[in-house]
Amino acid sequence: MLQKCSEPKLQGNNMILQTGVKYFHSNRHCINNGSMEKDHLPHFITSNLEHDAVKLVLEHFAEEGIASVTFVPASSKTGHVMVDDVIAAIRPSTCMISLMLANNETGIIQPVKEIFERVKQINTSRKSVPKILLHTDAAQAIGKIPVNVQDLGADYLTVVGHKFYGPRIGAIYVKDLGSGKEVPLYPMFYGGGQERNYRPGTENTAMIAGLGQASKLVTENIDKYNKHMQKIRDYLEERLKGEFGDGVCFNGRIGTSCRIPNTCNVSFLSVDCTGSEVLSNCKLVQASIGAACHSQNRPSPILLALDIEETVARRAIRLSVGRETTQEDIDKAVNDLKQAVKKIQNRNGGLSPQFVEY
């Protein structure tokens, strides 16, 4: 299923989440023991680390009385949700669990496979209520780590092309779509018969071909891409630590949790300003302080959700490396960040007054 729009993640995730609501109501007639009598709304489980393409949709469902939602808090000790916390949130009315595969700001990989394995065991015993559908937004992970939807055990998976050097188009995987099995998909738009009536609108053939080619390159070269990006990202963090010492904090290094290999979320503690102010004084580095869709003038909600101090979160910058980034590029970037921090320190008259706290 291809999403022919400028915001493929947004539309793909909306379609899947809306399907969860319709799936719940279409199965209410199957319930004969009254176990959902008091739970008249569909129930979704997600985390408090999700991208707005999931978070805001589910918040809207809750505000409008369309569904009830549990936002499972991530552990500050791991940077991800805990399997047992997700399982504990399940109710008879739970219709879908939606969890990102890797966080787009910290890069921390969520235990999606382990959670989905546990839920599948639970589904086998849900005789009088519908099975729980399983969705993962894999946009940030594809192209950086191996992603196998069968291995994950997902019913739905979101793909976004521009995250792995493809065109700005997306796709959603739906398990056994059209086979008459238990994983449904309901259209969100109407007005055309394209894509088996699931998604109307003339297909963008060129972008579809581009997505296919980008996917092929990832499939053939993922080990090479992964090793290169990890080597360069680690070099970046080594250089930053070497230049700034205790004046930097790496917000994605939490416990023993694994990260995707391209992401470095770092706070500059030795300067009393926001991450966006550091970037505005850079001559070469182009980065963000969080998700591109978030305001650049407030601390990242993701970092705050992980109990990272607000004074640290407001200083954060998200740096990403790519397939062709070199150590020479990193050297230039670190020197650029160094001169930006120095410029702000000179303007402010020295170190941040909060620096001694960390």
Secondary structure of 147-167 in HEC code, one letter for each residue: CCHHHHCCCEEEEEHHHHCCC
Exactly one of 5, 95, 282, 293 is catalytic; name it. Answer: 293
Residues pairing with 332 in the sheet: none
* Chain centre distance of CA 225: 20
pLDDT in tens, 165-180: 999 999 999 998 766 6
pLDDT digits (tens, 9 = 90+) for 103-162: 999 999 999 999 999 999 999 998 878 899 999 999 999 999 999 999 999 999 999 999
User: How many whole angstroms separate alpha carbon 63 and alpha carbon 314?
Assistant: 29
User: Is a pLDDT exceeding 60 seen at residue 346?
Assistant: yes
For 239-254, write each residue's pLDDT tens digit.
Answer: 999 999 999 999 999 9
Burial class (CB in 10 A: 0-12, 13-18, 19+), 337: buried
pLDDT of residue 357: 40
Give per-residue pLDDT as tens, 267-296. 999 999 999 999 999 999 999 887 655 555
Whether 264 is a known active-site residue: answer: no
Average pLDDT, the chain: 90
Q: Which residues contact 185 (CB under 8 A, 6 or more apart)?
A: 1, 15, 16, 19, 174, 177, 198
Query: Rounded to whole angstroms, how far apart are CA atoms 114 and 133?
Result: 15
Distance CA 238, CA 227 (A): 16
